[in-house]
């Protein structure tokens, strides 16, 4: 059975007009990290953003976690994480799935566990950090479009989200709420040793988390992620990035902002756009 008593992440209403995003500095670090392949039994890998991402054709969801755990059954499970975060609300659902697992959950941070991925990691009975890996915490992040009432309501909901994060971190680390709030306000990155020292992890793995890493993501998808990160660093919101990138790579111009069509992707256009943005 699970070894720790952790708080449930209560369901929080998604604010009207809200779209999730990942801080640009986190996204930039993540896209440059290799992805370590693993086909070990009783292992779940989270090597993507949290929540569906139609632009890259990926994203890790609570539905995927539920299916993986159902397949594994009531056995010890290892969850390997290299994720910049993503949807706060999907993250809470994934955290709850792991929290309710009927056997030991071991978390291994294989690159970065940021934002929603950070509190997903807290669901582990044992949390191990690879050498060179990072854990990052911050206040809830996203964009809200609407009138003043929508914005005020969104602020209240996002405060609830931050309180839920603090509840989880407080239970896992034993740190005071005031200390955790300071870490979140400062958008704090913890290296492996600092994460252990602060209670966010239990141990540092003997080997570098990136040793033996295998690039198993299609070059087309890697290019999309690089484009996304570069635009994010320029301050372009996620929904607008999706629209711009969809048009720039030959997608349908009348599609919704978060919908893309890989069949229309022009690899040469992607390469040229990357070159232009980096120059």
Domain assignment present for 56: yes
> Are residues 130 and 42 both part of a single domain?
yes
| Single residue among 181, 208, 235 that ends a domain in this structure | 208
User: Which CATH number covers residue 101?
Assistant: 3.90.226.10
- pLDDT confidence of residue 203: 97
> Are residues 40 and 170 both part of a single domain?
yes
Domain assignment present for 4: no
> Are residues 170 and 238 both part of a single domain?
no
> Are residues 143 and 273 both part of a single domain?
no
Contacts of 139 (CB under 8 A, 6+ apart): 158, 162, 184, 185, 187
Residue 100, class by beta-carbon neighbours within 10 Å (0-12 exposed, 13-18 middle, 19+ buried)? Answer: middle
- For the chain, what is the domain count? 2
The pTM score is 0.73
Domain that holds residue 274: 219-278
> Are residues 144 and 268 both part of a single domain?
no
CB-CB contact of 277 with 224 (8 Å):
no
Domain assignment present for 12: no
Continuous H helices in the chain:
24-31, 62-72, 88-99, 116-121, 148-173, 177-185, 192-198, 219-233, 238-248, 267-278
- pLDDT confidence of residue 176: 97
> Are residues 90 and 175 both part of a single domain?
yes
What residues form DSSP beta bridges with 44? 79
Active site positions, annotated: 115, 138
Domain assignment present for 213: no
Nearest Cα to 122, choosing from 179, 198, 218?
A: 198
Domain assignment present for 158: yes
- pLDDT confidence of residue 228: 64
Domain assignment present for 2: no
Domain assignment present for 243: yes
> Are residues 94 and 132 both part of a single domain?
yes
* Eight-class DSSP state of 262: G
> Are residues 50 and 159 both part of a single domain?
yes
Q: pLDDT tens digits, residue range 11-69?
A: 677 766 666 567 667 766 666 665 555 567 899 999 888 988 765 567 899 999 999 99
Distance in Å from the first CA to the final CA of the chain: 54
Q: pLDDT tens digits, residue range 162-194?
A: 999 999 999 999 999 999 999 999 999 999 999
> Are residues 55 and 121 both part of a single domain?
yes
Residue 161, class by beta-carbon neighbours within 10 Å (0-12 exposed, 13-18 middle, 19+ buried)? Answer: buried
């Amino acid at each position: 059975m699970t070894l720790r008593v952790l708080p449930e992440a209560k369901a929080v209403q998604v604010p009207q007009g809200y779209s999730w995003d990942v801080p640009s500095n986190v996204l930039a670090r993540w896209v440059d990290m290799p992805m370590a392949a693993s086909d070990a039994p009783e292992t779940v890998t989270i090597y993507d953003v949290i929540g569906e991402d139609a632009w890259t054709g990926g994203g890790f969801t609570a539905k995927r976690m539920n299916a993986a755990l159902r397949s594994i059954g009531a056995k010890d499970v290892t969850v390997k994480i290299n994720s910049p975060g993503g949807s706060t609300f999907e993250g809470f659902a994934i955290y709850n799935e792991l929290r309710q697992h009927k056997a030991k959950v071991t978390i291994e941070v294989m690159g970065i566990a940021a934002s929603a991925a950070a509190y997903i990691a807290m669901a582990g009975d044992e949390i191990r950090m690879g050498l060179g890996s990072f854990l990052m915490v911050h206040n809830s992040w996203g964009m809200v479009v609407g009138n003043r009432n929508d914005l005020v309501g969104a602020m209240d909901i996002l405060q609830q989200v931050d309180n839920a994060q603090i509840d989880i971190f407080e239970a896992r680390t034993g740190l005071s709420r005031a200390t955790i709030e300071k870490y979140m306000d400062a958008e704090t990155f913890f290296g492996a040793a600092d994460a252990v020292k602060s209670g966010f992890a239990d141990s540092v793995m003997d080997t570098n988390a990136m040793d033996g890493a295998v690039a198993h993501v299609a070059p087309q998808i890697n290019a999309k992620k690089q484009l996304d990160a570069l635009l994010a660093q320029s301050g372009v919101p996620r929904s607008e990035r999706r629209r711009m990138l969809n048009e720039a790579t030959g997608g349908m111009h009348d599609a919704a902002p978060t919908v893309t069509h890989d069949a229309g992707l022009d690899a040469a256009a992607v390469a040229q756009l990357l070159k232009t943005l980096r120059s």
